[in-house]
Amino acid sequence: MRGISGSWLLVGDGDSPPIRDGAVVVDRAGAIVAVGTVDVLRGEYSTAAWDSPRGAVLMPGLVNAHTHLELSALRGQVPGGQGFAPWVARLVALRAERGTDADSDAIAEGVSELLRAGTAAVGDVSNSLGSVPLLGGLPLVARVFAEVFGLTRRGAESTLEKTRALLRSLGALPENVSVTLAPHTPYSLHPDTFEGICREAVEAGALTSVHLAEHAAERAFLLDGTGPFLDFLRSRGAPPADWAPPALDPVRYAQTRSALGPHALLVHLTDARPDELALVAESGAPVVLCPRSNLHIEVRWPPLDAVLGAGIRPALGTDSLASSPSLDVLAEARVLRARFPHVKPRALLAMATGWGADALRVEAFVGRLAPGLTPGVLAFPHAEGAIPADPEAYVLSERASRRDILVRPTGTLAAAERPV
């Protein structure tokens, strides 16, 4: 066993206060044995190999609940600032121009970046499922969402069939990776396929994921079939939807299509209004916010105050490198700290750790420094004798620029936890 002590220890659950002179004992496999103060634990675990006391704040490994590793080759190359439709039009054009040959190398680099950031769990949305073998066997757990889109019935059914064939071709999954089908968005998938995937997740006891209420163009399209997304479809010569707009807001539409509940991770909600957030909270649906992506594409902040006010404990995600400068989810918490200084640092850190693990349904493995879990241990050093008065605010500040990974998380999902 190994004992590690710090000036402070942050549990990551959003409730527990920081532990001054905190320490953690881990076993050979990286599982947490005990958490407490160094004085007490040194006495109780005197035979453990104790690291010399560090001038550092300790916390669990990070949870990046939403990204698209497959778009990593587009890092920094898709300009934003003009809304979703122009952004996605540029993305699609670039993908068509460049092809997908560089994807594998870029995904591998993205995965390395996740590991360097101290990521213990990731939610990855994928069309090609090219990330699955590259995530396999690494010291993190991954929930991969096999994304399905297709606005017309025929388009949707054809993509669904192709995606099912891809899933079958994967064979046995790595122990640290789960894969489930996921609807892309309400405005890019035929309603029957959308509902079918959600119902399948409920029946399998699995977690699916959907981008929801990301922007005003989505609302316009669902209300009356018009707006920038219709213009985008027309500019591409895509066939029009073969279903009538439901004349509902995104959240109520999701509700009618079995997408509102604990089985569906709702990504973004940037355009959601308070009454819609109340419905989300009531449904028990997990939520992921991706502030830097929203800022890049829409120049808009997610409604964090309203989300927290509704009683939702959101996760954070970086979204892809096509709309975000890095895959470091702590950077998401840091931009929120700057924009929402009244939100408790403890909550912002939980969004990048424990609450993220809850949202991804990996809380039995990572996200908190708690006995039995294998979340990894990160250390944010500070100058000797300059112990931060508020360690949570310190970790969220640019002063905590260095991060050491003292213990790697253990990347294993229990077999029972691996829906296919």
Nearer to Zn ion, 251 or 405 (CB): 251
Options 38-46, 129-137, 227-235, 312-320: segment touching Zn ion (CB under 5 A)? 312-320
Closest approach, Cβ 321 to Zn ion, in A, equals: 11
Query: Rounded CA gap, 255 and 281, in Å?
Result: 12
Which 318-337 positions form the footprint of Zn ion (CB under 5 A)?
319
Sign of CA dihedral 136, 128, 67, 223: negative
Nearer to Zn ion, 241 or 267 (CB): 267
Closest approach, Cβ 3 to Zn ion, in A, equals: 40
Nearer to Zn ion, 68 or 346 (CB): 68
Q: Give how many residues touch Zn ion by CB under 5 A.
A: 1
Query: Rounded CA gap, 411 and 138, in Å?
Result: 6
Options 108-116, 180-188, 314-322, 377-385: segment touching Zn ion (CB under 5 A)? 314-322
Which 249-268 positions form the footprint of Zn ion (CB under 5 A)?
none
Query: Rounded CA gap, 186 and 211, in Å?
Result: 8
- Per-residue binding letters, 46-85, with Zn ion (x by CB under 5 A): ----------------------------------------
User: 1 near 47, Cβ under 8 Å?
Assistant: yes
Residue 121, phi then psi, degrees to nearest 5: -150, 145
Query: Rounded CA gap, 308 and 292, in Å?
Result: 18
Tokens of 256: 């009618």
Closest approach, Cβ 238 to Zn ion, in A, equals: 20
Nearer to Zn ion, 5 or 127 (CB): 127
When CB distances to Zn ion are compared, the closest residue is 319
User: 118 near 376, Cβ under 8 Å?
Assistant: yes
Nearer to Zn ion, 41 or 359 (CB): 359
Nearer to Zn ion, 230 or 265 (CB): 265
354-390 burial, b at 16+ Cβ within 10 Å, e below that, comes to: bbbbbbbbbbebbbbbbeebbbbbbbbbbeeeebbee
Closest approach, Cβ 184 to Zn ion, in A, equals: 9
91-100 burial, b at 16+ Cβ within 10 Å, e below that, comes to: beeebeeeee
Closest approach, Cβ 383 to Zn ion, in A, equals: 39
Closest approach, Cβ 66 to Zn ion, in A, equals: 6
- DSSP label of 227: S
Nearer to Zn ion, 209 or 255 (CB): 209
Residue 139, phi then psi, degrees to nearest 5: -80, 60
Closest approach, Cβ 294 to Zn ion, in A, equals: 11
Query: Rounded CA gap, 45 and 37, in Å?
Result: 12
Closest approach, Cβ 316 to Zn ion, in A, equals: 13
Nearer to Zn ion, 126 or 374 (CB): 126
Note the residues at the interface with Zn ion (CB under 5 A): 319
